[in-house]
């Protein structure tokens, strides 16, 4: 795994190794990550990255949030409760020297609680496939004030995800077994 674009382009990330079977650690492939960021940089959603506050739910290795930082996001909070994921996130933040802009939040993404800071403009959501955790995490994030009005949500899932009623589907794509939906959080 590597950063595919931006200031840290080509920089290697920590190897996943055996991963975390219990947590179903399944990093987004470089190919899918590059396709998603092409949509965010060159596509209809261009302009969302510069200065964005990023929330990466079910962060795993932290690659999505760190890729966003490489491409101009201001800061990233990488949320994952897994021990293996926590070690990978910490190592990747260190490898990129991103300590001042990225932090791990060791918390269950489906139990975020209230946000203790400013809400986030861009959210990456990559839950374990087929367990219904994505919708639960989004509902929790919305209820806890984690999502800014109009926030862009990039949701990866094993089947086409059904958005909550307060979000609008802007785009849907499929990359092999990975379905990606880009949603906008309805303004208040």
How does pLDDT run across 108-132, given as a tens digit for each residue? Answer: 999 999 999 999 999 999 998 888 8
What integer pLDDT is reported at residue 120 of this predicted model?
97
Q: Which domains does the chain have, with CATH numbers?
A: 31-185 (3.40.50.150)
Lowest mean pLDDT among 4-18, 74-88, 112-126: 4-18
Mean pLDDT of 4-16: 92
Q: Is the pLDDT of residue 26 over 90?
A: no
Q: State the DSSP string of 64-132.
A: HHHHHHHTT-SEEEEE---HHHHHHHHHHHHHHT-TTTEEEE-S-TT---S-SSPPEEEEEE-PPTTSS
What integer pLDDT is reported at residue 24 of this predicted model?
56
How far is the CA of 60 from the CAs of 14, 81, 116, 127, in angstroms?
12, 9, 22, 9
Mean pLDDT of 45-68: 93
Phi, psi at 39, each rounded to 5°: -65, -35
- The two three-digit tokens of residue 132, written as one number: 């219904």
Helix count and strand count (H, E) for the chain: 4, 7
What integer pLDDT is reported at residue 47 of this predicted model?
83
Predicted structure pTM score = 0.92
- Is the model more confident about 65 or about 130? 65
């Amino acid at each position: 795994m590597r950063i595919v674009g931006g200031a840290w382009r080509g920089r290697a990330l920590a190897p996943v190794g055996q991963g975390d079977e219990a947590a179903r650690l399944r990093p987004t492939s470089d190919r899918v990550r590059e396709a998603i960021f092409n949509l965010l940089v060159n596509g209809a959603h261009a302009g969302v990255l510069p200065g964005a506050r990023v929330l990466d739910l079910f962060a795993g290795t932290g690659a999505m949030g760190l890729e966003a930082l490489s491409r101009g996001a201001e800061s990233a909070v990488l949320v994952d409760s897994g021990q293996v994921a926590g070690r990978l996130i910490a190592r990747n933040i260190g490898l990129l020297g991103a300590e001042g802009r990225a932090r791990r939040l060791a918390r269950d993404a489906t139990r975020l609680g209230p946000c203790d800071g400013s809400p986030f403009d861009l959210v990456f959501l990559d839950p374990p496939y087929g367990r219904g955790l994505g919708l639960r995490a989004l509902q929790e994030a919305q209820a806890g004030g984690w999502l800014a009005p109009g926030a862009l949500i990039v949701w990866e899932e094993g089947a086409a995800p059904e958005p909550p009623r307060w979000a609008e589907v802007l785009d849907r794509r499929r990359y092999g077994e990975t379905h990606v939906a880009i949603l906008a959080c309805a303004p208040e």
